[in-house]
């Protein structure tokens, strides 16, 4: 199998599994890969070939772009090796190449504790603002998903997420009973019609709201901190990782969910051992 044949297979796989924006991100890379290596057998591509190819397309690009293109080439080879059961090593996996496009060490994300989140929510000045924060902190929604919701997307305690990040047509999110009730009261009080957006504001408005709330506690927080809190709070209360991943955050991969979870302290580890096995 040559590289061109592999690209055709990989594109077909992308159509069925990835959202349009992700496929578009790969387009430039795959076009260049086809131009440079189309006739080469897949199993003849070396780490040196990959290095030269990447330098030819990202030579002066930012570090983030260089890492992205490297990750995309690596994903391409990983898929083809698994898909065709090729007995070869991914040429992107060689130490020198990995070091050349190394991802910087992730700084641990701050996790907001429940008491702080509750106080931030209760300090909001309107039912609209409170619902926006609760849908993130209690239901795990992304801020963009919250702002895109319409009245028609609300079905009892379910929320229909249209054009989600996963690339699916829709996904379902769930609400606690009290939030579903408050949301229903909010819709009635505003006399909203089925096609109306629940919260007709933009991301910058929400970010400004949260920044001002955080300033009251001398903290710099963002909308995504509330979604991250929802995952960690669920985890600390014994919700299985699979439920957090597939239901609350709606991730494809458990590894993605694990990035959201805060570090377990020694005291928490001991408490869970006592809970499981007694003191």
Q: Boundaries of CATH 1.10.150 in the chain?
A: 3-100
Q: Boundaries of CATH 1.10.443.10 in the chain?
A: 114-272
Residues in the chain predicted with pLDDT less than 70, given as ranges, are 104-109, 262-265, 268, 272, 275-277, 279
Segment 169-224, tens digit of pLDDT = 899 999 999 999 999 999 999 999 999 999 999 999 999 999 999 999 999 999 99
**What is the chain's Cα-based Rg?**
23
CATH number for the 114-272 domain, one of 3.40.50.300, 1.20.1440.230, 3.40.50.2000, 1.10.443.10? 1.10.443.10
pLDDT at 90: 92
pLDDT at 196: 97
CATH architecture of residue range(s) 3-100: Orthogonal Bundle (1.10)
pLDDT at 172: 94
pTM of the model: 0.66
pLDDT at 181: 96
pLDDT at 279: 64
């Amino acid at each position: 199998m040559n590289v061109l044949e592999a690209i055709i297979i990989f594109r077909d796989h992308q159509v069925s599994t990835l959202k349009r924006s992700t496929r578009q991100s790969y387009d430039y890379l795959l076009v260049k890969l086809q131009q440079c290596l189309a006739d080469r057998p897949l199993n003849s591509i070396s780490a040196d070939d990959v290095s030269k190819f990447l330098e030819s397309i990202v030579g002066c690009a930012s570090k983030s772009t260089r890492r992205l293109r490297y990750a995309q080439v690596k994903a391409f080879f990983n898929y083809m090796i698994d898909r065709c059961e090729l007995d070869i090593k991914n040429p992107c996996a060689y130490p020198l190449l990995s070091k050349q496009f190394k991802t910087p060490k992730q700084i641990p994300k701050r996790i907001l504790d429940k008491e702080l989140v509750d106080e931030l929510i209760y300090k909001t000045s309107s039912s609209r603002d409170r619902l926006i924060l609760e849908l993130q902190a209690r239901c795990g929604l992304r801020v963009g998903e919250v702002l895109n919701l319409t009245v028609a997307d609300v079905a009892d305690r379910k929320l229909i997420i249209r054009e989600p990040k996963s690339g699916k047509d829709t996904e379902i999110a769930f609400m606690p009973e009290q939030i579903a009730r408050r949301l229903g009261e909010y819709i009635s009080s505003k006399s909203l019609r089925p096609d109306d957006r629940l919260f007709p504001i933009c991301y910058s408005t929400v970010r400004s709201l949260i920044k001002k709330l955080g300033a009251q506690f001398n903290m710099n927080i963002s909308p995504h901190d509330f979604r991250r809190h929802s995952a960690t709070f669920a985890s600390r209360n014994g919700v299985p990782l699979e439920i957090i991943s597939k239901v609350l955050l709606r991730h494809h991969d458990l590894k993605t969910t694990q990035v959201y979870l805060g570090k377990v302290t020694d005291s928490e580890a001991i408490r869970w051992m006592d809970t499981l096995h007694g003191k």
